[in-house]
Each structure stands twice: as C-alpha cells, then as structure tokens.
A and B are shown apart, each in its own frame.
Chain A
C-alpha cells in the first residue's frame, strides 16, 4: 500500500549513492593523472602555446623585442618557391621510408617469430642500432659511404644529388628498423595459435595464412607502426643534418631542415615558426586520418 510512495525515494537514494561512488572512483583516477598532466602541460603544452604567437611576428630569433606582422608570414609561405623542393624531398623520403621500414620489419618479425635457431641473436642484432643516436649512425654511415660504398659503386651515395636520398633512407632504415620489428613481433605473439591450427586443418597454405590471418589480426600493430613511422620520417631532421646538412646542392633538404635554417641560420624565427605550425597541422591531420583508417580495419580478436 505504501509501496508506490516509498519506492521512489529509495531508488533515488540508490542512484545518488551510485553517483557519489562513481565520482569518487573517477576522482581517484584523476589524482593519479595529475603528476604526468602537470609535467606534460609544463613541458609540451605551455611551450607550444606560448610559441604560436611567434608565427605572427618578425622575430629574428635573438632580440628581445619584435613586431606583430599579422598573417604576413603565412602569405609569404604561399608564394615561397624555396619550400617546394624540401616538400618534395620530404614526401619522397617519408613515403619510401614508411613503406620499406614496415615491409622489412614485418618480414623480419614473421621470420623471427618462427622457431629459428639463434632467433635471440638476430633479435638483438636488429635491435642494437635503435640504441644508437641518429647523429652517430649518420657519422658511421658517412664513413662507410665515402670509404667503402664509393669504392664498390665508383661513387659515394651521399655525394650525388640522384642517390643522396637512397643513402639517407639506408641510414634511417638501419637505425630505426628495430622498434617496428618489436611491435610486429609482439603483435604476432598475441595471435592465438588456434586460428592457425584451424586454417591448417582447412588446408590453407603459408601465404593464405599470412594474408588472411596474420595481416588482419595485426591491424592494431599496423595502426601504430605506420602512423608513427610516417609522421616521424616526415619530420626527419637529425639523420639528414648529420649526414649531409641538406646537400649536395640542397637536394636532401627536408622541411625540418628548412625550418632549422630559417630559425638559426637566416635569423627569421617568426617565419620559421609559421612554417612549422603549418607543417604540424599537416602532420596532425595525416596522423588522425591514418589512425582512423586503420582503426576501421581492425578486427576484434
């Protein structure tokens, strides 16, 4: 008889309690986040935001005063012929490195995932270059290039406009292959043996198993590897700077090197900041699009 009237407050109370509980629980998550959020904000977000305004100034990179020039830097950028060659170089470099790096890494990862003699040795061998900095790797390879490759091929790779990118791509692959191999190997290890056994019973050959089981199941790894490799190689800087400094005759100048030149060599920091802002937005869009594309292809295991 009193049910009708008594039920509501009880349910309401029940929900109220739940909300408090949930709030409390979520608040405790946030508390754990605070240290890293502070650090991230201080080291990444704040410098980034405080740097944006420079793109609208004529700052020379050293003086303590500068003038605001509105969108001048951006309109200049649209008509600047000097940026065309670096954009072309960067695009070729980025796409080639991404393709080669991932194909090679996937190939090596699948090979190493099979029960091989000495797999641990090879794993280490492929991984060690990752521990070497891009600058050191470039110096080592520069030496190899001018003292070995130049004798074998009759010309050094880094000394000719036609081959300089091949040389830099080689250095970059050697230097960075390890991380993608690791990610792919982890992905492969995560695929249940059941699928493979089932397909073997159904009579699938190695190729079919690779393309119909391994590749779809590896989609999350592809998302990470391809996106990371592409964005990292598009903003390649250290390897190029140490190997050629953008030469010969500007043929290996990437967008990152161009920004560096404007910033530090030509004392046009405002313009450099404008280029890097546009470049960053471009990289973000590419990164987001790629992630979205690959996420849509991912299958639930």
Chain B
C-alpha cells in the first residue's frame, strides 16, 4: 500500500515535471528536461550535500526532491551529510580549509563575507533560475553583481500564536496595535496562560526575541541600520527607535514565563503547542517546531504591532538568509548546479509549501494548499503588508555582545534602558578597535 502510494507520488511528480517543462517559456530551464538524462554514457556521479537544516519538514521535503531528481537522473546520486546548526560553520570551514570540499552546501548570508572572497563558492549568475526570483530577493547572496547561492524560502521575525489557546481565552481577533497587544497579554495571564514563552537559556533565543522587536520597532521604522551601529556611525543611546526597543522589552517582560533563562526553547515550543503559552516572539520557524510538538494544534502568525496606528504595523522582512550554494572546487560542478536548479524549481517549491516546511519565495508557486500559519503568511504577502528591511543580524562578535547586554538587561529586571544602551555603545566601540 505504502509502496503504491510512493510510486503514484513519484509518477505524478515526474509527469508534473514534464508538463512544467513542455509548457512554453520554461524550456530554457533545461535542467528538469527528462531527455537531458545521459545515464547510459554518463559515469555514475555521487554529489555530497552538507545540509545544515535538521527541521523535520525540510528534511522530508529534501528527501522527496532528491528521490524525484534521482529518478530523472539515474547517473547522479545525492548524499546528504547532516550537521547540527551549532557546529555547521566549523564543519564546512574545516572542510574547505583542508581542501576536502563538498559539492553542495547550505549557505547563509553571513558566509558572503568570508567564503566568497576566499573563492570557495561557485558563481551562479547565469543560471536560468534567476528569472524565478523577484527583484531584490537575491540581494543577500549578491556581490559585485554576481549571485552565489539560491534560496527556496524566507524566514522572518513575527509573533507566532496558538489559535486554539486564543479562542479558549476569549480573544477574538489578532491584536493590531501595541495597546491591543498588551491587552491580549493581560487577558492570557488572567486565564493562567503564559502570554509569551521565552527559552532564553539558549542564547540565540534572546537574539530572536530581540530581533522580532527591533525589526518592527527600529529597522522598519526608519531607525539606523545595524551596519551603521557596527561601524559606529550611529549609536544606541540617543536613538529614539532603540529607546523604544528597550521600553517595549520592559513592557513585555512581565508577561514572559518565570525563569526564562533557565528554560530552553524546546520547552517553550511544547508550552505553545499544548496551550500552556499563548505566543512566542521569534522567527517563522517557530511554527514548524511547535507543530512537531503537537500536530493537532493550529498556529497563526502576525506582525508584532509596535505602533498605535494599525496601518503601520506591517510584516518586516529581510531578503532571505539561508540558501544552498555549489563549491567552486567541486569536481562535479555541472551535476551539482543541475541538482540545485531542480531543487529551487517552482515544482519543488510547490512541494515545499505543501509539506509545510516554510514560505517559498519562488515565482509560480500555488499557495492555495497552505493552511494555518502558512495561510496567514500567504495572506500577508497577498495583501502586500510587507516591508523589506535591511539586514536583521549583527556580525557574530557584535551579536554576542548584543545578546550579553540584552540578557543583562533582562536579568536586571528591565530597569535601566539608558544604562543598557550605554553599555551596548561601549561594547560596540571596543569591537571597532
């Protein structure tokens, strides 16, 4: 039965792929054309793909994409190397430094500064897939007009909530202004539900919650870019938007779970999924992780409403951070690019959305199959309630200083925004020297 199902799925995927290719303009896409298979004379090629994402849906999607691809290209095998996010950079860096290069690897926008100048990443500018991205979407992977990696989806910082929990607490609509947001927090707390679950024992969560607030409060609000803060042409202290950032933290801190620094994020996901908590302020990946804890729960997302004017509260979004790149020194460049192009094709992107792995940013994807938070996200996109913002991530040394100082601010009971901003300025000053 299961085998039959897989067979049917594979067959339909194959047919889909063929129709996609035979229908007009996409012909230039080339890579998915079955007649390009040259298995007979082509030697067996195994591609190594170092994958940094362990999210269940992503892995499931990737497995299916690989199965589809291998069916069309019997001479190519894709081997996945799983590496945890924490050690991903070292693993990849070490592999490159020692000359033992993988063919494909997960690539983050941060890698543009070190890996691209070192000449480790293949230039993809001439790929036909470029047409599938909207203007500006590839900015984070572009340097001197050359594109080095292709993304499938985008993550952004938002509020993730449990629809069932909101309903149970009698909250009828998603908050649209800051005072409505605080009101919702109060109502949840009155019902003995933790309004905002925060797993600050993991440092990236401190950063994630901060990003949710500063993307909306600072970056989408004409505040200084993070790069300006890093190169010290702008300061935290004396910037109205950053002052707003710390006052917002101050206001939401009483609505967080007790002992956030002794709680890890997995606990928070399960609190959200099981109705013990109402919201998590972090990235869109919260939905996937919380769903894994309780597949029956339905989640939703909304932009953190930092303004009192409902119309100003749109979803702040950076160009994507995560993508996949091909190693310039790979011995099987052609095959690797071929796979990458298939992986980022509209066909794979549709599958990506159906699996609930995330929000695809590739043109030609049918989003009508989406549900829950993915539907919310699609609605936001369709309404155009999106604002493209500058990078939301500090360089790692600054990021660590930022995390430490914001953690300190929380641990001191959020009493001293002025002091926190001064501390940040001193620490950032020291990093420039």
- A, B in one complex: yes
Chain B contacts for A246, CB-based, 8 A: 203
Residue of B nearest to A76 (CB): B433
Hey, which chain B residues are within 8 Å of A250, CB to CB? 400, 404, 407
List the B residue with the shortest CB-CB distance to A262.
Answer: B397
* Most B C-beta atoms less than 10 A away, residue of A62, A244, A261, A266: A62
Interface-centre pick from A150, A248, A267 (highest chain B CB count, 10 A): A248
- The one of A142, A145, A156, A265 that contacts B400, using a Cβ cutoff of 8 Å: A265
Q: Scan A168-184; emit 1 where CB is below 8 A from any B CB, else 0.
A: 00000000000000000
Give bound CA distance, A160 to B263, whole Å.
11
A264 B400 Cβ-Cβ under 8 A:
no
Question: What is the bound-complex CA distance between A63 and B117, given in angstroms?
Answer: 9
Which residues does chain B contribute within 8 Å of A245, judged by CB atoms?
A: 202-203
CB distance from B100 to the nearest CB of A (A): 13
Q: Say yes or no: A64-B430 contact (C-beta < 8 A), given A158-B201, A159-B260.
A: no
Please name all residues of chain B whose beta carbon is closer than 8 Å to the beta carbon of A61 when the two chains form the complex.
93, 97
A60 and B97 in contact (CB under 8 A), knowing A244-B201, A247-B203, A247-B407? no
Q: Which residue of A lies closest to B395 (CB)?
A: A266
Contact of A146 among B93, B115, B263, B400 (CB under 8 A): B263
A161 near B: Cβ within 8 Å? yes
**CB atoms of B96 and A62 under 8 A apart:** yes
Taking CB atoms and an 8 Å cut-off, the chain B residues in 230-264 that contact chain A are: 259-264
Known: A62-B97, A247-B407, A250-B404. A150 touches B262 (CB 8 A): yes
B16 contacts chain A at the CB level, 8 A cutoff: no
Q: A155-B262, A161-B411, A249-B408 are in contact. Are A64 and B400 (CB under 8 A)?
A: no
CB of B96 within 8 A of CB of A156, answer no
Cα of A244 to Cα of B408 in the assembled complex, Å: 15
Count of A residues near B, CB < 8 Å? 30
CB of A82 closer than 8 Å to a CB of B: yes
Chain B residues with CB below 8 A from A161, complex form: 408, 411
Across the interface, do B118 and A146 meet the contact criterion of CB distance under 8 Å? no
**Shortest CB distance B107–A (Å):** 14
List B contacts of A117 (CB < 8 A): none
A248 CB contact (under 8 Å) in B115, B396, B411: B411
Q: Does A193 contact B (CB under 8 A)?
A: no
Whose C-beta in chain B lies nearest to the C-beta of A162?
B411
Cα(A62)–Cα(B96), bound, Å: 7
Q: Is there a chain B Cβ closer than 8 Å to A207's Cβ? A: no
Name the CB-closest residue of B to A63. Answer: B118
Q: Report the bound CA distance from A60 to B411 in whole Å.
A: 33
Given known A-B contacts A62-B114, A81-B430, A249 and B407 have beta carbons under 8 A apart: yes
- The CA of A249 and the CA of B404, in the complex, are separated in Å by 4
A82, closest chain B residue (CB):
B430
Chain B residues near A264: list those with CB within 8 A. 89-90, 93
Decide if B201 touches A146 in the complex (CB within 8 Å).
yes
- CA A161 to CA B397, docked complex, whole Å: 21
Q: A158-B262, A250-B404 are in contact. Are A265 and B115 (CB under 8 A)?
A: no
B397 adjacent to A159 (CB under 8 Å): no
Given contact pairs A62-B115, A64-B118, A155-B259, A160 touches B411 in the complex (Cβ within 8 A): yes
Say yes or no: is B200 at the interface (Cβ < 8 Å to chain A).
yes
Select A159's contact among B261, B404, B408, beta carbons within 8 Å. B261
Q: Could you tell me which residues of chain A, from 77 to 117, have a CB within 8 Å of some CB in chain B? A: 81-82
Q: How far is the CA of A158 from the CA of B259 in the complex (A)?
A: 10
Select from chain B the residue with minimum beta-carbon distance to A261.
B400
Residues of A within 8 A of B117 (CB): 63
Question: Is there a chain A Cβ closer than 8 Å to B48's Cβ?
Answer: no
What residue of chain A has the Cβ atom nearest to residue B201's Cβ?
A159
Residue of B nearest to A157 (CB): B262
How far apart are the CA atoms of A145 and B261 in the complex, in Å?
11
**B397 to A160, Cβ gap below 8 A?**
no
Q: Contact flags (1/0) for A224-266 with B, using CB distance below 8 Å?
A: 0000000000000000000011111110000000000100111
Q: Mark B69-96, 1 if CB is under 8 A from A, else 0.
A: 0000000000000000000011001001
Closest to B396 in A: A265
Q: Which A residues are CB-close (under 8 A) to B396?
A: 265-267
Write out the residue numbers on chain A whose beta carbons fall within 8 Å of the beta carbon of B46: none
Interchain CA distance A106-B301 in the complex, whole Å: 58
Q: Contacts A62-B93, A81-B430 hold; do A159 and B262 have CB atoms under 8 A apart?
A: yes
- What is the CB-to-nearest-CB distance from B260 to chain A, in angstroms, rounded to a whole number? 7
Residues of A within 8 A of B261 (CB): 156, 158-160, 247-248
Inter-subunit contact A156/B93 (CB<8 Å): no
How far is A159 from B261 in the complex, measured between Cα atoms in Å? 4
Which residues of the other chain, B, contact A63 by a CB distance below 8 angstroms?
114, 117-118
* B123: interface (CB < 8 Å): no
- Chain A residues near B (Cβ < 8 Å): 60-64, 81-82, 142, 145-146, 150, 155-161, 244-250, 261, 264-267
19 contacts between A and B (CB under 8 A): A62-B93, A62-B96, A62-B97, A63-B117, A146-B201, A155-B259, A156-B201, A156-B262, A158-B201, A158-B261, A159-B200, A160-B262, A161-B408, A244-B201, A245-B202, A250-B404, A264-B89, A265-B397, A265-B400
- Not counting A156-B201, A156-B259, A159-B201, a sample of 13 additional A-B residue pairs whose C-beta atoms are within 8 angstroms of each other reads A62-B114, A62-B118, A63-B118, A150-B262, A155-B259, A155-B262, A160-B261, A160-B411, A161-B408, A247-B201, A247-B404, A265-B396, A265-B397
The 9 closest A-B pairs by CB, nearest first: A156-B262, A159-B262, A159-B261, A249-B407, A249-B408, A250-B404, A266-B397, A248-B261, A265-B396
